Amino acid sequence: MSTNLSGGDKFSINNKRAGIISRFRAIGCGAMAGALEQIYMDTQYSATDFDTRLELMLRAQELERNERKRRSLLKSSGLLSCPDIGLIRLNLPGGISIQDLDLCASVSRATSPKTLILSGPTGIGKTTVLTHLGRSYCSAGLTVMYRNTETLLRGLLHSEGKSRERLFRKAVSAQVLILDDFCIRTPMDDDLVWELFNIVEARLGNHEQRRPVFIGTQLDMESDDNGAGISPALGGSAVAESVADRLVNPGDLYVLTGESRRKGLQHKTAD
């Protein structure tokens, strides 16, 4: 006597597979579950061996984990949104090439002990470039802290106890610290210069454990020599000179040129 079991076999196997997929999701392996579901449903995987299927599932889970980490790093960094890299490349200001941009965005540059300074007039694109660099580092798994310089320093100045300790520790421990609008008001208040000195000394004072500082500024740095353009903006004191010396030795300077990216009002005349 022959018995047709194909319907029952198919139903029971599908239930079993659905159960396996659900168990992966229950233990937080949603990406592996999705990959396994695709393997079950797509005939192109029918001939693949166990190791190949397992590799596909693990790769999917690793990609999901990395994306979660990237989003977490971006959220804690304080970085702004920025245009697509294609638009950034098309609209780069003078003074920095695409090759320079790619080099600055590399992990090796982010982990270099050298500071990086972008100098140029308002609207030239300093913040866009710095934001792109910071987001690139977050995608590579590095910790970044992006802040308006004066906002960070006043935050430290007016906070106390554990609140101050947390903010200072974050500014010092981030693998890359990005200080935008550096010295937007000059000369900088003495109290803020002291706060800046504490950060710079903690990050750059030990030559064997330097953590880079990236700066965006409107200061005229084109003819700067050993921080000569920075020290006066910080008040010209001995502390200011110490900060300036640490920020530029060693460091890379890009002087950005061109027109403001912020389009002004267009004057129209009546016909």
Which whole number is the average pLDDT over 61-74?
93
Note the pLDDT of residue 2: 38
Which whole number is the average pLDDT over 68-76?
93
Identity at 131, one-letter amino acid code: T
Note the pLDDT of residue 192: 97
Note the pLDDT of residue 22: 93
User: Lowest-pLDDT range, 83-87, 149-153, 203-207, 238-242?
Assistant: 203-207
User: Lowest-pLDDT range, 37-41, 77-81, 244-248?
Assistant: 37-41
Indicate whether 7 pLDDT > 70.
Answer: no
Task: Please tell me the pTM assigned to this model.
Answer: 0.82
The contacts of residue 127 (CB under 8 Å, 6+ apart) are 80, 180, 216
CB 213 within 8 A of CB 247: yes
Indicate whether 132 pLDDT > 80.
Answer: yes
Report CA-CA distances (Å) from 120 to 130, 181, 220, 247, 259: 13, 11, 7, 17, 10
| 80-125 residue pLDDT tens | 898 899 999 999 999 999 999 999 999 999 999 899 999 999 999 9
Give CA–CA dist 191/209, Å, rounded. Answer: 26
Other Cβ atoms closer than 10 A to 196: 25
CB 64 within 8 A of CB 70: no
| 230-271 residue pLDDT tens | 999 999 999 999 999 999 888 999 999 999 887 654 544 444
Question: Which tokens hold the place of 167?
Answer: 């903010």
Instruction: Examine residue 250 and say whether the peptide bond preceding it is cis (omega within 30 degrees of 0).
Output: yes
What is the DSSP annotation of 15-63?
HHHHHHHHHHHHTT-HHHHHHHHHHHH-GGGTT--HHHHHHHHHHHHHH
Sign for the CA dihedral angle at 188, 191, 193, 195 comes to negative
- Res. 48 pLDDT band, cuts 50 70 90: confident
Which whole number is the average pLDDT over 33-46?
86
Which whole number is the average pLDDT over 173-186?
96
Which whole number is the average pLDDT over 186-207?
93
Indicate whether 154 pLDDT > 80.
Answer: yes
Q: What rounded mean pLDDT belongs to the chain? A: 88
Query: By C-alpha distance, which of 195, 150, 179 is closest to 78?
Result: 179
Which whole number is the average pLDDT over 176-189?
96
Note the pLDDT of residue 123: 93
Which whole number is the average pLDDT over 217-238?
82
